[in-house]
Amino acid sequence: MNRWELVIAITLVGCAPGAFPKQAEQPTAKAEPAKQAPMKTRQTLGKTTQNVLELSKALEQGGVLAETSIKSDGLEIASEAYRTQVGKAGSLAVEQRMQHYNAEHGEYPNTYDDFMARIIGKGGPDAIALPMLPYYQEWAYDVTNRKLVVVEFPAKKEQRERETTGAAGL
């Protein structure tokens, strides 16, 4: 295991839900806002998916295109590098299949449904299995630009951060 793999492993294990004990919350006299259902996270390491959203619908639901550059420093850099590389690796397989399709048919899939059937091949013997992204990110197909992108849902990320930081905001 090289140094970066070790950093990524330590970061991901150290940041797992329940890795740190919760602080006792202080009772307050303020009325609490209506509680949302707890955010469901998902296992990502070693997991795959064939779930790809249509970009226009994902954007309507509050999604934004995910940043593909690494801007963090310290321990956050390992998890950000992992997310970025997973996104790039997943889109490479799709890009290659899109190029083969274009070479064979003289065009790219024109619709989301066509993309799912002919490129992802969901449920088929030669289906593409994309790496699972964190709970606040999803794969999406950009019909206009004919490419696979990663969409981030900031509201999901913010809700999960509120749930895991506690009353002290730590």
Looking at the domain assignment, is residue 132 inside a domain? yes
pLDDT the model gives residue 118: 92
Q: How many domains does the chain have?
A: 1
129 pLDDT more than 90 = no
What pLDDT, on a 0 to 100 scale, did the predictor assign at position 143?
A: 92
Residues in the chain, overall count: 170
Region at 58 (left for phi over 0; alpha for psi -120 to 50; beta for the rest): alpha
Per residue in 48-70, is it b (16+ CB within 10 Å) or e — as a string?
eeeebbbbeebeeeebeebeeee
Residue 12 is predicted with a pLDDT of: 47
Confidence at residue 71, expressed as pLDDT on a 0 to 100 scale: 58
pLDDT tens by residue, 38-53: 656 666 666 778 889 9
What is the model's pLDDT at position 19? 46
Q: What is the mean pLDDT of residues 74-97?
A: 71
pTM of the model: 0.63
Instruction: Give the ranges where 50-169 is alpha helix by DSSP (H).
Output: 55-60, 76-105, 112-115, 154-165
Q: Is residue 18 situated within a structural domain?
A: no
Q: Is 26 inside any structural domain? A: no
Pairwise pLDDT comparison (40 vs 13), residue with the higher score: 40
Residue at 119 is within a domain: yes
Give the integer Cα–Cα distance in Å for 23 and 44: 27
Helix (H, G, I), strand (E, B) or coil at 65: strand
Q: What percent of the chain has pLDDT over 70?
A: 56
Mean pLDDT calculated for residue range 123-131:
86
For the residues 66-79, what does the mean pLDDT come to? 62
Examine residue 94 and state whether it is found in any structural domain, yes or no.
yes
| Average pLDDT of the chain, as a whole number | 74
Q: Is residue 16 part of a domain?
A: no
pLDDT-derived band at 16, boundaries 50, 70, 90: very low
Residues of the domain holding 67: 3-11+49-165
Q: Is residue 58 pLDDT above 80, yes or no?
A: yes
- 80 located within any domain: yes
Q: How far apart are CA 152 and CA 54, in angstroms?
A: 13
Inside any domain, residue 39 = no
- The count of other CB atoms within 10 Å of the CB of residue 146 is 16
